[in-house]
Amino acid sequence: MELREWKTILTPYEFAVEELKVKFKNIRKELKANGEYSPIEFVTGRVKKISSIISKAEKLGVSLDEVEEKIEDIAGIRIMCQFVEDIYTVVSLIKSREDMKIVYEKDYIKNYKASGYRSYHVILEYPFQTAKGLKTVIAEVQIRTLAMNFWATIEHSLKYKYDQGVPKDLASRLSRAGDAAFLLDQEMSEIRDIIVRAQVMFEMKSIAIKDI
């Protein structure tokens, strides 16, 4: 496939990622403006690189005509939360929206991967307007805590370093580090109420100072 054809395919995904990022960031802005706690800490997004799409297609045995249908994370959104409980609140928020539809969900927190990977994945159908009319794209939303994100970012970079596979002893250390990160999440959950109250109070104070 030529670069021009890839551009035609991927441009709507770029727009969808931009729109979805704005929408999730706005949930945070709105809640904060109301002096409420936001389950969303920050949001990132990306369109999968052409080289990554091609290697995933090869791995899945999918032809290039089928990538849009079969590769569900061409559009990828990541939502970071402070606490594990917030992840499930974000999932409920997504379920209640009328501008996106959940196709299916994967709970890699309850069913964490052998690598130590933890996150909640939601596969969405996102309809949006383009110059050529309504287009629906599939997007993958990964929802995770800050600790899960720390772990996944580091582990992902190591996977690039060891293209033949992470050595066994390092893989088991990483898996243990994943357990330790989850223990941190559980400890933080124990004191969540106190932290949330303190943060809301701090937010209210800074709004009041700005108004003076």
Summarize as ranges the residues that interact with ligand 0O2 (CB under 6 A): 48, 52, 56, 73, 76, 106, 113, 115, 117, 121, 152, 155-156
Q: In the complex, what is the shortest distance from the CB of residue 107 to ligand 0O2, in angstroms, rounded to a whole number? A: 11
**Residue with Cβ nearer ligand 0O2 (88 or 112):** 112
Is 85 an annotated catalytic residue? no
Q: Backbone phi, then psi, for 109, in 5-degree steps?
A: -100, -55
Helix pair angle (168-190, 192-211), 10° resolution? 70
Q: In the complex, what is the shortest distance from the CB of residue 73 to ligand 0O2, in angstroms, rounded to a whole number? A: 6
CA distance 114 to 112: 7
**Residue with Cβ nearer ligand 0O2 (60 or 198):** 60
Q: In the complex, what is the shortest distance from the CB of residue 105 to ligand 0O2, in angstroms, rounded to a whole number? A: 10
**Residue with Cβ nearer ligand 0O2 (128 or 150):** 150
Number of H helices, E strands in the chain: 7, 5
Comparing CA positions, the residue from 206, 10, 187 lying closest to residue 82 is 187
CA atoms within 13 A on the CB side of 200: 13
**Residue with Cβ nearer ligand 0O2 (33 or 158):** 158
Q: How far is CA 51 from the centre of its chain?
A: 21
Report whether 62 contacts 71 (CB < 8 A). Answer: yes
Report whether 35 contacts 205 (CB < 8 A). Answer: no
Q: In the complex, what is the shortest distance from the CB of residue 106 to ligand 0O2, in angstroms, rounded to a whole number? A: 5
Q: Which of 5, 19, 140, 190 is catalytic?
A: 140
By annotation, the residues acting in catalysis are 140
